[in-house]
Amino acid sequence: MGVLHEVLKRPLVPIALNTGMFWGRNAFTKKPGRAVFHILPAITEPLDAATCRKRIQHQIETASDALLNA
């Protein structure tokens, strides 16, 4: 995503979700649950790919943790 943001020079809208609670990564079975998506503020300023990736990771992980603890 960071590379796309850097190359295309377009805003990037991060989205946090809680699906990891019941749709585990590499898990064959899926548990029932309510998927909650949180649309975060757009990143509009131009950033290099590495900086953009770090910012996205921090924003999404912080918001996802809040969703998991809600």
How many other C-beta atoms lie within 10 A of the C-beta of residue 47?
A: 17
Rounded Cα gap, residues 13 and 23, in angstroms: 23
**What tens digit of pLDDT does each residue of 15-70 get?**
999 888 888 778 778 888 888 999 999 999 999 999 999 999 999 999 999 988 87
Boundaries of every domain in the chain: 2-68
**pLDDT tens-digit series, residues 45-54:** 999 999 999 9
For 34, the token pair is 């309510």
The whole-number pLDDT of residue 23 equals: 83
| pTM, two decimal places | 0.79
